[in-house]
Amino acid sequence: MHHRAPVPSRRTLLTVTAAAAAAAVTGVSTPAHADQDRRLRRIIDRMSLEEKVGQLFVMRVYGHSATAPDQADIDANLQEIGVRTAAELVERYHVGGVIYFTWAHNTRDPQQIAELSNGIQQAALAQPTPVPVLISTDQEHGIVCRVGEPATLVPGAMALGAGGSHADARRAAQIAGTELAAVGIRQNYAPVADVNVNPANPVIGVRSFGSDPTAVAGLVAAQVKGYQRAGVAATSKHFPGHGDTAVDSHYGLPTITHTRAQWAELDAPPFRSAIAAGIDSIMTAHIVVPALDPSEDPATLSRPILTGVLREQLGYDGVVVTDSLAMEGVRTKYGDDRVPVLALKAGVDQLLNPPKLDVAWNAVLKAVRDGELTEERLDESILRILRLKSKLGLFRNAYVSRAGVERVVGAATHLAQADRIAESTTTLLLNEGEFLPLSPASHRSVLVVGADPASPSGTTGPPTTTLAAELRELGFTATALSTGITPTAAKIEEAVAAAAGKDVVVVGTYNVTATSPQRTLVARLVATGVPVVTIAIRNPYDVARLGGQRATLAAYSWTDVELRAAVRVLAGRARPQGRLPVPVQSADDPAKVLYPVGHGLSYR
């Protein structure tokens, strides 16, 4: 039976220094490092087995408050987790981490987020062994955002890849990290280190900085430094590389067919770069890479990949966190009770968001009691997690303040810098007869139509509405008509009728495929004789399936900051500076490159 040792005093917990923790994470052997590890091990020794198991889990929870969520969120928590609130989650399962989601109602506004974070920390520090919680989220920016306005939204990865500036990438991450830290989020699952070499990739795409491993590696390192200077643990993902897949691991188990040599050339450089930059955590991928592990286990459960390649070959000794264990990719081969145990045996430290926490938590507990896992193995991971918590200063002060939120989140200087960075990313792909820039004098009446995908956090309205509003701000007469991602024949006829008498039509396109009715929409608008300009609001590959438009811009996302920048470029208030970070190939002949990496027009 495990006997609980005396609980450490709050003074003991708070004397762990951030400097020593930083040395521990980087593997530097110093007296402070050794002293810090001794202190942390004493904390671990005082934990019960149940507390140790809990430290390994990072779990979702519904609600805007740690103690008083809405009734619907209480019901959801009871159904999925068996607790009523975030505070009960911490008390029952001793979880070491909590992940925030918009859909879980965790991120309504900055002050609410800060109060939720403080409530979770209060619950954690009231436990028999008081250890602060590491709160995380997916704030990649671009198309994946959990914390929206009034927080500052910066351009996403592929937009930054188009900008090509390490300084801008670092500054964007520092702005984002500073605001996350202000609301109590201290681990961000960004930057994406996947190299998007497959245009058909359904899950990465513009979440990647681009298709060139060297360029991606430089931008990943820049963002790692930016986040971590802001006091937020960066997380490069998805190891060993999710960039060349046509399957979404949320719904299936992709296989990467790269040889080991191809992996080393294409996929490894950004992760090597992240490690060299001192990355705090690395997230696994639910992908099969036979060249790295012939067992065909997903990387998340693969000891040859996580211990053999990541730990031993690449020399990484920081925190390894799984991608969500609720994703189908990790659940196709093993049951939910085996997945967390196999992940720990593979070399994982943090188990993220299992579908049923009680199943996963009890499975790990049972594996230790049965001898399949040792407490020493758990202690290795817990030590890494506590080192990171100490580095972030959570033992000194786990709480955030309302004044800090008001001072930092959405600061005017942050917003201005985000706008400047966004302007440097907008890419002009096509400009027939130098049709752009538009002028209110000659193109006053503008119709904006196109796709209005579900808005990520940080958008104030549908893309067509945002584009039209920004055009009006610049002196144009602009009207918006949402035609959707799959416009119907009736909606296309409505758009054609609305184009009559206009000086120009702006079409926001979204992942145009060979059979997409968006192609029909553009063709019918072109046939009216009114000049058409298209703006790709997600992947820049749309231009390969369209024809007849006078100009095409790539915005790389439909968040407000990128759409506003695209309109300023459209209207000549800013010069297009972006350069394609991926090649755009012919839709009919993929071997033919229409627009190579580095392509981007400017104005005379």
End-to-end CA distance of the chain: 78
* 67 burial via Cβ count (<10 Å: 0-12, 13-18, 19+): middle
Q: How far apart are CA 226 and CA 9, in angstroms?
A: 34
CB–CB of 33/20 below 8 Å?
yes
Structure tokens at 474: 């610049």
- Please tell me the distance from the alpha carbon of residue 393 to that of residue 240, in angstroms, as a whole number: 30
**Could you give the residue ranges of the DSSP H alpha helices within 183-267?**
213-229, 260-262
Beta partners for residue 504, in sequence order: 446
Using alpha carbons, list the distances in angstroms from residue 285 to 237, 239, 240, 297, 576: 7, 5, 7, 11, 35
Contact 463, 450 (CB under 8 A): yes
Query: For residue 554, what are the β-bridge partners?
Result: 427, 536
Calpha distance 438→476 (Å, rounded): 9
Instruction: Give the residue carrying structure tokens 């879980």.
Output: 104
The residues, any chain, with a CB within 8 Å of residue 313's CB and separated by 6 or more, are none
Q: One-letter amino acid identity for 591?
A: A
Please list, in sequence order, all residues whose beta carbon lies within 8 angstroms of the beta carbon of residue 177, skipping any fewer than 6 positions away.
188, 226, 227, 228, 229, 230, 231, 232, 234
Q: How many beta carbons lie within 10 A of that of residue 315, not counting itself?
A: 11
Interatomic CA distance for residues 322 and 304, integer angstroms: 15
State which amino acid sits at residue 562. E
Which DSSP letter does residue 593 get?
A: E
* Catalytic residue (one of 244, 297, 323, 452): 323
From 35, 109, 248, 250, active-site residue? 250
State yes or no: is 349 an active-site residue. no
323 catalytic, yes or no?
A: yes
User: Which helix (H) or strand (E) element contains residue 494?
Assistant: helix 489-499
DSSP character string of 18-86: HHHHHHHHHT---HHHHHHHHHHHHHHHTS-HHHHHHHTEEE----SSSS---HHHHHHHHHHTS-SSH
Backbone angles phi, psi at 427, to 5 degrees: -115, 125
Please identify every residue annotated as catalytic: 250, 323
